């Protein structure tokens, strides 16, 4: 039973516009959330994270929002660039040094 | 500083053959992990280690064994490969500092095809 769900397998967005990726979780013990980015034939690389004591974290063009009551987080990329085309994984941890991953969302940024 | 490396990058096995995947990290990290990635499934934890000489089962451990004889190396073994083990395998590590949430560093992956 997947505890972290990304219900949109793919997202296509025009260059310069906003990309919004969504993630839902079921385990109320999760207290740390991360987004990873993955290019083909490479390992995932860390993008941005948020602790459960916050509801927003920003890093340049990337912002992660956390809604604990809804058990939902989202990643906003503004503006989207061609180099952002990749698979994005949402992950969560319950302070046990293990991560549960979502299935991923493939983002395609159109010129 | 090479980070996390994985050997081999790609391998084809016949059903019933055995093999060992090697993960090495040069960051002096305590914790190491093995994941498999399958289409539509994300990354699933196979086994992990919280220090040299220790191993523990993850979400999908059946059919795999691991060893952590040296701090920098984490080996994943398949004793008798099955087509269901066709996947991309990723290794990851973290420093493992107590009480601190840390991001995992991933290797480039090993693509395994079992015929």
Q: How far is the alpha carbon of A45 from chain B, nearest alpha carbon, in Å?
A: 7
pLDDT given at position B40: 83
Q: Does B50 touch chain A (CB under 8 A)?
A: yes
* Cβ contact, residue pair A4, B42, below 8 Å: yes
Query: Which residues from A are below 8 Å from B103, CB to CB?
Result: 34, 46, 49
Is the pLDDT higher at A61 or at B99?
Answer: A61
Contact residues for A31 (Cβ-Cβ < 8 A; gap 6+): A51, A52, A93, A94, A95
pLDDT digits (tens, 9 = 90+) for A80-94: 999 999 999 999 999
pLDDT of residue A22: 98
- Summarised one tens digit per residue, pLDDT across range A7-49 is 999 999 999 999 999 999 999 999 999 999 999 999 999 999 9
**Closest-CA residue to A32 (of A6, A52, A56):** A52
Q: CB B82: neighbour CB atoms within 10 A?
A: 12
B25 contacts B3 by C-beta, under 8 angstroms: yes
Residue B96 has a pLDDT of: 80
DSSP B43-59: EEEEEEESSTT--EE-S
Q: Which residues in chain B are contacts of A99 at CB distance < 8 A?
A: 43, 45, 104
**Chain A nearest-CA residue for B111:** A41
Q: Does residue A57 belong to the interface with chain B, where contact is any CB pair within 8 Å?
A: no
pLDDT, residue A97, reads 85
Contact A42 B109 (CB under 8 A): yes
Query: Which pLDDT score is estimated for B39?
Result: 86
pLDDT digits (tens, 9 = 90+) for B43-102: 999 999 999 999 999 999 999 999 999 999 999 999 999 999 999 999 999 988 776 777
């Amino acid at each position: 039973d997947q505890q972290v769900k990304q219900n949109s397998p793919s997202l296509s967005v025009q260059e310069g516009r906003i990309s919004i990726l969504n993630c839902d979780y079921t385990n109320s013990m999760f207290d740390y959330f991360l987004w990873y980015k993955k290019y083909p034939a490479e390992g995932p690389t860390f993008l941005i994270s948020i602790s459960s004591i916050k509801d927003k974290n920003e890093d340049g063009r990337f912002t992660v929002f956390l809604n604990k009551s809804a058990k939902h987080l989202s990643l906003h990329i503004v503006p989207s660039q061609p180099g952002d085309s990749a698979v994005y994984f949402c992950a969560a941890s319950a302070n046990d040094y293990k991560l549960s991953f979502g299935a991923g969302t493939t983002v395609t940024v159109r010129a | 500083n090479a980070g996390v490396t994985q050997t081999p990058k790609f391998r084809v096995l016949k059903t019933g053959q055995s093999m060992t995947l090697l993960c090495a990290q040069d960051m002096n990290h305590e914790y190491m992990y093995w994941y498999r990635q399958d289409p539509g499934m994300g990354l699933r934890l196979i086994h992990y280690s919280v220090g040299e000489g220790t191993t523990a089962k993850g979400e999908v451990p059946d059919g795999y064994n691991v060893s952590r004889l040296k701090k920098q190396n984490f080996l994943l073994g398949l004793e008798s490969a099955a087509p269901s083990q066709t996947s991309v395998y990723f290794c990851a590590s973290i420093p493992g500092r107590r009480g601190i949430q840390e991001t995992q560093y991933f290797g480039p992956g090993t693509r395994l095809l079992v015929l």
